[in-house]
Structure 1
Amino acid sequence: MPALPPQPISPLDGRYRAAVSALGDHLSEAGLNRARVHVEVEWLIHLTSRGMFGAAPLGDEQVAQLRAFAANFGDLEIQALAEIEATTRHDVKAVEYLIRGELHRLGLDAVAELTHFACTSEDINNLSYGLTVKSAVEQVWLPKLRAAIAKLAALAEQHRDAAMLSRTHGQPATPTTMGKELAVFVYRLNRVVAQLEASVYLGKFSGATGTFAAHLAADPSADWAAISREFVESLGLTWNPLTTQIESHDWQVELYGKVAHANRILHNLATDVWTYISLGYFRQIPVAGATGSSTMPHKINPIRFENAEANLELSSALFDTLSQTLVTTRLQRDLTDSTTQRNIGVAFGHSLLALDNLERGLGEIALDTDALAKDLDANWEVLAEAIQTVIRAEVVAGRSTIADPYAVLKDLTRGHRVGADELAAFVAGLDIGDEAKQRLLALTPAGYVGAASALVDHLADPVANQSL
Structure 2
Amino acid sequence: MSGLLRPGVHRVAGLVDDAAVLGAMLRVEVAWSRALVVAGLAPPRQADVVADAAIDLAPDLGDLIEAAENTGNPATALIAHLRSAVQAQDPDAAGVVHRGLTSQDVVDSALMTIARDGVARLRGDLRRAGAELAVLAERHRGSVMAGRTLTQWAVPTTFGLKAAQWLAGVSEAVTVLDALRFPVQYGGAAGTRALLAALTGDADQAPVVRSFAEHLGLHPASVPWHTRRRAVTAIGDALVTVTDALGVVAADVLLLSRPEIAEVSEGESPARGGSSTMPHKRNPVLSVLVASAARQAPQLAATLHLAAAGAVDERPDGAWHSEWPALAALLEIAVTAGEQAAELVAGLQVHPDAMAARAQHASTALLAESPGLTDVRGYLGDCDRIIEAVLTEWAAVTDTQREDPTDA
Same fold flag (TM > 0.5): yes
Q: Does 1:166 align with 2:147?
A: yes
> Residue 457 of structure 1 aligns with which residue?
388
Q: Does 1:131 align with 2:137?
A: no
**Secondary structure of 2:145's aligned partner:** strand
- Deviation string 1:248-277 (CA, Å, 9 cap, x unpaired) is 221111221121122112212211111111
- Deviation string 1:186-236 (CA, Å, 9 cap, x unpaired) is 1122122112111122233122221223333434x2234324432343233
For 1:219-258, list aligned pairs within 5 A: 219=200, 221-234=201-214, 235-243=216-224, 246=226, 248-258=228-238
Deviates more, 1:320-329 or 1:192-201: 320-329
> Residue 27 of structure 2 aligns with which residue?
38
For 1:312-351, list aligned pairs within 5 A: 312-333=294-315, 334-351=317-334
Contact preservation (8 Å) 2:250, 2:291: yes
1:309 paired residue among 263, 276, 291: 291
In 2: Cα distance, 1:149 partner to 1:135 partner? 20
In 1: Cα distance, 2:397 partner to 2:269 partner? 36
In 1: Cα distance, 2:140 partner to 2:52 partner? 51
In 2: Cα distance, 1:251 partner to 1:87 partner? 24
TM-score, normalised relative to structure 2: 0.83
Structure with higher Rg: it is 1
- Deviation string 1:423-453 (CA, Å, 9 cap, x unpaired) is xxxx5xxxxxxxxxxxx5xx61134323423
Contact preservation (8 Å) 2:142, 2:160: yes
**Secondary structure of 1:199's aligned partner:** coil
> Residue 93 of structure 1 aligns with which residue?
76
**Secondary structure of 2:282's aligned partner:** coil
Tell me the matched-pair count.
389
In 2: Cα distance, 1:449 partner to 1:355 partner? 32
For 1:106-185, list aligned pairs within 5 A: 106=89, 108-138=90-120, 140-185=121-166
Contact preservation (8 Å) 2:47, 2:96: no
Distance 1:79 1:314, change over 3 A: same
**Secondary structure of 1:165's aligned partner:** strand
Q: Does 1:448 align with 2:379?
A: yes
CA positional deviation for 1:183: 0.7
Distance 1:200 1:285, change over 3 A: closer
Q: Does 1:281 align with 2:263?
A: yes
In 2: Cα distance, 1:238 partner to 1:303 partner? 39
| Contiguous gaps of at least 5 residues in structure 2 | 401-408
Higher relative contact order (CA 8 A, sep 6+): 2
2:245 paired residue among 265, 269, 273: 265
Identity of aligned residues (%): 24
In 2: Cα distance, 1:120 partner to 1:127 partner? 11
Distance 1:69 1:175, change over 3 A: farther
In 1: Cα distance, 2:271 partner to 2:237 partner? 40
In 2: Cα distance, 1:368 partner to 1:309 partner? 22
Deviates more, 1:158-167 or 1:81-90: 81-90
Contact preservation (8 Å) 1:188, 1:265: yes
2:63 paired residue among 49, 66, 82: 82
Distance 1:34 1:177, change over 3 A: same
Distance 1:114 1:169, change over 3 A: same
| Contiguous gaps of at least 5 residues in structure 1 | 1-7, 388-408, 410-426, 428-439
In 2: Cα distance, 1:89 partner to 1:159 partner? 60
CA positional deviation for 1:129: 1.6
In 1: Cα distance, 2:78 partner to 2:313 partner? 27
> Residue 2 of structure 2 aligns with which residue?
9
In 2: Cα distance, 1:361 partner to 1:31 partner? 28
CA positional deviation for 1:160: 2.0
Contact preservation (8 Å) 1:164, 1:446: no
